[in-house]
Amino acid sequence: MWIDECKRSIRPGLERMNIFMKDFNQNFKAIHVAGTNGKGSVCEFIYSALMIKSIAGVYTSPHLIRVNERIRVNGKEITNQEIEQYSWMRDYKFTYFEALTAMAFQYFNDKTANFAVIEAGMGGRLDATNVVVPEVSVITNVGMEHEKWLGRSVEKIAWEKAGIIKDAPVITSCSGDALDVIKKVASIRGADVHVNGIDFEWKYEDGYFRVYADREYVFHPKMNALYQGDNIAMAVKALEILGAGREEIIKGINDAFIPARMQKTGKYIIDGAHNPEGIKALFSSLSTDDSKTVVIFGVMRDKNVKKMLSLIPSSMEIIATQVGNERAMKAEEIASIRNCMITRNVEEAIKASSNFDRVIITGSLYLAGEAIKLLNEKKLV
């Protein structure tokens, strides 16, 4: 496809997207979502509710198996044939991510979407998505990630993510120094800030999530990992601001599902946690039992791998593997940080886990995608 010709290098900056936006007229109401963790889940919860009574699109990244997964309207992925219809975008000299972003915007217009939920790729201020005009902005949380590009302190990273704030309501689960930065930027731009735990809140009781916002809601969602509580609460608040009804909010959030968020497939639990905060949330959400558990771990080189590995319980064995991505860390490098079994690829790692009762597959969304594909194709469950 034509987008495969685009450079995959990271080139922060809005120059090419701004040129495109001069030729583009946004006809949809946008919900712009940034943050360290939970972006994809928040996007899916909001999208699932909006498409019940409206034409709604969602743009997320990265994809697990097919690039088409990134761009959807009312439950249907963009097709390969539709992607090819946008080959005229070559003229903008986009990077790969920019090309997908511009294509998503144009596709939502062409499909007459009333709403589009847009996930920021990295950071916010200089992210290709940050040319959209939002009705609501969501900054899920802020943790240490992509320090090379975003800065080496929580405050600097928060400032980069706060770059998505316009003169529209902001919803966040941030706290401490990160929240201070977001409030300061929002004040400058005339945006109201709605803070999880202060302006709205949630509880988990007997398998149900209760959210207290403008109204009280009770959810029993398909994506029911404990760490989804913050994401559900933020989605509820965004949907209230957008005018969604109570029934749409409850049904949409209960029905929402995306792979690799504590996805259970037989004895395998697949989670795309790809930074320390994500790993911590994953293992704190796992049930405690006497199962013989192993962790298949594959990760990108630019992550805080030492910290991620330190958060995996010492009682669990680890199988290190290398994901089929140019940014992937070699299994030998992982093993040099923490003692573990070394495998050459994901398929070998899955086979090596056969004698365990429970297998956790985590460290990267790219790993999650490969694992899901292999488990589906080879029926290894």
Residue 147 has pLDDT above 60, yes or no: no
Q: Please give the C-alpha separations between residue 11 and each of 32, 40, 43, 89, 243, in angstroms, as whole numbers.
A: 20, 22, 24, 18, 37
Q: Is pLDDT above 80 for 381?
A: no
196 beta partners: 200
Tokens standing for residue 28: 């949809």
Nearest-angstrom CA–CA distance, 187 and 212: 25
The token pair that represents 262 in the structure block? 């504590």
What is residue 70's three-state secondary structure?
helix
3-state SS, residue 233: helix
Query: What is the average pLDDT value for the chain, to the nearest integer?
Result: 94
User: Hey, what are 190's tokens?
Assistant: 């005339």
The per-residue pLDDT for 306 is 95
Q: Which amino acid is at 154?
A: V
Q: Which of 144, 167, 156, 120 is nearest to 14 (CA)?
A: 120
Cα torsion 41, 225, 213, 180 to 10°: value is: -70
Write out pLDDT tens, residues 226-260.
Answer: 999 999 999 999 999 999 999 999 999 999 999 99
Written as six digits, the tokens of 56 are 């709604």
What is the rounded distance in angstroms from the CA atom of residue 181 to the CA atom of residue 202?
Answer: 24
Q: Rounded distance, CA 41 to CA 225, Å?
A: 11
Q: 288 pLDDT band (50/70/90 cuts)?
A: confident
Q: Is 28 exposed, middle or buried (0-12, 13-18, 19+ CB in 10 A)?
A: buried
52 three-state secondary structure: coil
108 falls in which pLDDT band (50, 70, 90)? very high
| Span 12-71, pLDDT tens digits | 789 999 999 999 999 999 999 999 999 999 999 999 999 999 999 999 999 999 999 999
- Residue ranges and CATH numbers for the domains of the chain are 2-255 (3.40.1190.10), 263-378 (3.90.190.20)
| Tokens at 113, concatenated | 């979407």
Whether the Cβ atoms of residue 276 and residue 304 lie closer than 8 Å to each other: yes
* Inter-helix orientation angle 246-255/228-241, to 10°: 150
pLDDT value of position 119: 98
Nearest of 266, 257, 213 to residue 235 by alpha carbon: 213
More confident residue, 324 or 12: 324
Query: Could you tell me how far CA 29 lies from the centroid of its own chain?
Result: 20
| pTM (two decimals) | 0.92
Mean pLDDT on 131-156? 83
Rounded Cα gap, residues 10 and 8, in angstroms: 7
Joined together, the tokens standing for residue 107 give: 């596709």
Distance CA(306)–CA(317), nearest Å, equals 16
Please name every residue paired with 170 in a beta bridge, in sequence order, or none if there are none: 137, 193
pLDDT above 90 for 302: no
Work out the number of other CB atoms within 10 angstroms of the CB of residue 326.
8
